[in-house]
Structure 1
Amino acid sequence: MESKNGFLKMTMAEFEPWLQSQRIARTILTVQQHHTWSPSYIHFNGSNHFERQAAMKNYHVRNNGWQDIGQHFTTFPDGTIVTGRSLESTPACIYGANRDSICIEHFGNFDKGGDTMTNDHRETIVRMTAAICNKFRLPLNSFSIIYHHWFNLDTGKRNNGTGGNKSCPGTNFFGGNKVDDFNSFFLPLVAQHGQGTAGTLAPPTSIQKYVTVTASALNVREAPSGTASLVSGREPAQLGAILRVYDESNAWLKISNSQSHWVYGRYTEDVKRATVNANVLRVRSGPGTNFSIVDNLMKSEEVFISEERDGWCKISLEEKWLSKDYLDFS
C-alpha cells in the first residue's frame, strides 16, 4: 500500500483484507457503479494515480461546491484502487440515491467507442463489488448494486434509464448499462466471488435496533460514558448515518457486535428497517396523496423509517413519505 495527499492506493489483493478490517458505523444498503468518462484511459500513464485522484477532488470541491471528493473509491486501468472520501460520509454521486451507499468511480470512458477495459481493471471491478457486498451482507441484485444510468438526473427518480439519464457507468460497461445487461453480464461475475444470494439477506440476529444520527458528528467511545476515551482509528458517525445497535446502557448505545464501541443515544433517533413490497412505490413530499411525488422506489428496495403518521412513513431524516401499506418491516 502507498499513501499520498490523504489517499491510500492498494492492489485488489490488499483491498480485501483492508476492507474487512474497517470499522464503519453507518449501515450500507447499496453500491454505486460509475465511470469517470473524462478523465479516460488516455489520461492515465501508469503512475499518476494520486495526481488524477487529487484532480478529481479539486474539481468536485471547487466546481461542484462539495466538501470532499464525491466517491469513496476510484479503480484504475492497472487494477489498483485509490480511496476517496471517508466511508462514514454519504457520497455525492447519484442525486436522490446517495443515502446508505458506497460509491465507486471506475477511471475511464466505457461508452461504446470509448476505452477498452483492461483485464486487470475488469477483475478488480468485479472482485471489489463482491467484497463490498460480502462485507455489508448485501444481497446480489439490482437494488443493492446500482448504476448511475438508472436514475433521472433532474428528479433523482429511478426510471431504469428510460429518459433524462447519464450513460454512466457506460453503454459498454460489462455488456451495457441497462438492468437486463446488469443481470445478464455483470451480476453473474460478481456472484462468482460473492457470498450472498439473489434474495434478501437477513441482518444479524444480534442487532437490537437501528438509529439515525441527529448530530453533525457523533463520537465513538470505548465505554458507555462521556469520560471514556475515543476509539482509536475510528471516525465519528455523521449526520443521517444509520447505526446498528447491539446493546444499551444508561442512554449509551453499543454499535459493534464484537468490540466495546459506544455512542451517546441522545444524539440519535430510532428508525425501523423496511422493504418495499409494491412493484413501484411513489415517494411523496408529505404524508398523503395530496403531496407531490418526489421519487419512486421499486420492489425489494430497503429504507429506514423514522416516523409514522396516519398510515404514512417518513424516510429517516428526509422529507420523503411512503404509504405504510406497501412496506414490510424487518
Structure 2
Amino acid sequence: MESKNGFLKMDIDEFASWIQSQRIARTILTIQQHHTWSPDYSHFNGRNHFERQLAMKNYHVRNNGWSDIGQHFTSFPDGTIVTGRSLEATPACIFGANRDSICIEHLGNFDINGDTMTSEHRLAIVQMTAALCDKFRLPVNTFSIIYHHWFDLSTGKRNNGTGGNKSCPGSNFFGGNKVDDCTSNFLPLVEQHLQRQILPHIPAGIEKYVVVTANSLNIRTGPQGTAPKVSDREAAQLGAVLRIYEESNGWLKISNSQSHWVYGKYTTEVKRATINANVLRVRSGPGTGYSVVDNLMKSEEVFISQERNGWCKLSLEEKWVSKNYLEFW
C-alpha cells in the first residue's frame, strides 16, 4: 500500500483484506458502478494514480461545490484501487439514490468505441465488487449492485435506462449497461469471486436501527460522554443508519464485538423494510395528492422513520411511500 494526498493506493488483494478490517458505522445497501468517461485511459500513464485522483477531487470541490471527492473508490487500468471520500460519508454520485451507498468510479470510457478494458482492470472491478458484497452482507443482485444508467438524471427516479439517463458506467461495460446486461454478464462474475458465502443481511444480535440526526456524531469507548472517542473509526454522519446491539442510559452500542457507543439523543429509530410492489411510487408527502418524486423497485430495501395515516417516511428525506407495499423485517 502507498498513501499520498490523503488517499490510499492498493492492489486488489490488499483491498480485500483492508475493506474487511474497516469499522464502518453506517449501514450499506447498495454499491454503485460508474465510469469516469473523462479522464479516460489516455490520461493514465501507469504512475499517476494519485495525481488523477487529486484532480478529480479538485474538480468536484471547485466546480461542483461538493465538500470532497464524490466517490469512495476509483479503480485504475492496471488493476489498482485508490480511496476517495470517507466511507462514513454518503457519496455524491447518483442524484436521488445516494442514500446507504458505496460509490466506485472506474477510470476510463467504457462506452461503445471507447476504451478497451484491460484484463487487470476487469478482474479488479469484479473482485472489489465481490469484496464489498462480502463486507456488507449484500446479495448479488440488481438492487444491491446498481448502475448510474438506471436512474433519470433530472428526477433521480429509477427507470432502468428508458430515457433521460447517462450511459454510465458505459454502454460497453461488461457487455452493456442495461439491467439484463448486468444480470447476464456482470453479476455471475461477482458471484464466482466471492471469497466465502455471504452471511444473512442482519447480523445476530441487532436489536434495532437508528438514523443519525446530528451533522456529526462521535463514537465513544463507553456509554457516557466522558468516555474517550474511539480511535479506529470516524464519527457517524447525518443520515447514516446505524445498527444497535445494546442500550444503556440513553447510549446505544453500535458494534457487536467492540465497546463502541453513540448518544441516542442525536438519533431516531428507523425500521427496515422491503418493497413488495413491482414499482412503488415515492411521493413528496403522505398521500396520493403529493407529487411523485421517485420510483422504488420490488425487493429494494428502505429504512422507515415515521408512519402517518398508512404512509411511511423514508429515513430523514421528505419522501413517502404507501405502507401497503412494504414488508417489515
- Evaluate the alpha carbon distance shift between residue 20 and residue 196 of structure 1 in structure 2; reply closer, same or farther with a 3 A threshold: same
The aligned counterpart of 1:76 is: 76
Superposed CA deviations along residues 203-235 of structure 1, whole A, max 9, x for unmatched, are: 123110000000000000000010001001311
For residues 292-311 of structure 1, the C-alpha deviation after alignment (integer angstroms, 9 at most, x for no partner) is 00000000000000000000
- Correspondences of 1:103-252 after superposition (within 5 Å): 103-194=103-194, 195=196, 201-252=200-251
What residue in structure 1 maps to residue 31 of structure 2?
Answer: 31
- Aligned counterpart, 2:7: 7
Alignment of structure 1 residues 59-70 onto 2, 5 Å: 59-70=59-70
In 2, distance between residues paired with 1:204 and 1:128? Answer: 22
Aligned partners of 2:210 and 2:268 also within 8 Å: yes
Query: Normalising by the residue count of structure 1, what TM-score does the alignment of the two structures yield?
Result: 0.98
Which aligned pairs between 1:90-105 and structure 2 lie closer than 5 A?
90-105=90-105
Cα distance in 2 for partners of 1:257, 1:119 equals 39
Contact 1:214 1:240 in 2 (8 A): yes
Change (3 A) 1:180 1:196: farther
Q: Which residue of 2 aligns with 1:281?
A: 280
> Which letter maps to 1:240?
G
The one-letter amino acid paired with 1:167 is S
Question: Aligned partners of 2:272 and 2:232: how far apart in 1?
Answer: 28
In the other structure, the counterpart of 2:291 is 292
* Greater Cα shift, 38-47 or 200-209: 200-209
The residue identity in structure 1 corresponding to 2:291 is: S
Tell me which residue corresponds to 2:260.
Answer: 261
Moved over 3 A (4+): none
Q: Using the alignment, how far apart are the partners of 1:91 and 1:83 within structure 2?
A: 13
Describe the SS at the equivalent of 1:258.
coil
State the SS of the aligned residue for 1:111: coil
Decide whether the 8 Å contact of 2:138 with 2:201 is kept in 1: no
Counterparts of 2:249 and 2:193 in 1: how far apart (Å)?
Answer: 42
Give, in whole Å, the separation in 2 of the partners of 1:114 and 1:201: 39
Instruction: Report the Cα offset of residue 136 of structure 1.
Output: 0.4
**Equivalenced residues, count:** 328
SS in 2 for 1:274: strand
Of all paired residues, the percent bearing the same amino acid is 77
The residue identity in structure 1 corresponding to 2:316 is: L
Q: Distance in 1 between matches of 2:244 and 2:280?
A: 28
| Displacement of 1:196 | 5.4
In 1, the alpha carbon distance for the partners of 2:313 and 2:243 equals 19
Deviation of 1:202 after TM superposition, in Å, equals 3.6
Partner secondary structure for residue 104 of structure 2: strand
Structure-1 residue corresponding to 2:306: 307
- Residue 282 of structure 1 contacts residue 296 of structure 1 at CA under 8 Å; is this kept in 2? yes
Unaligned runs of 5+ residues in structure 1 are none
| Whole-Å separation in 1 of the counterparts to 2:203 and 2:170 | 35
Paired letter, 1:9: K
Gaps of 5+ in 2: none
TM-score (norm 2): 0.99
The Cα RMSD (Å) is 0.9
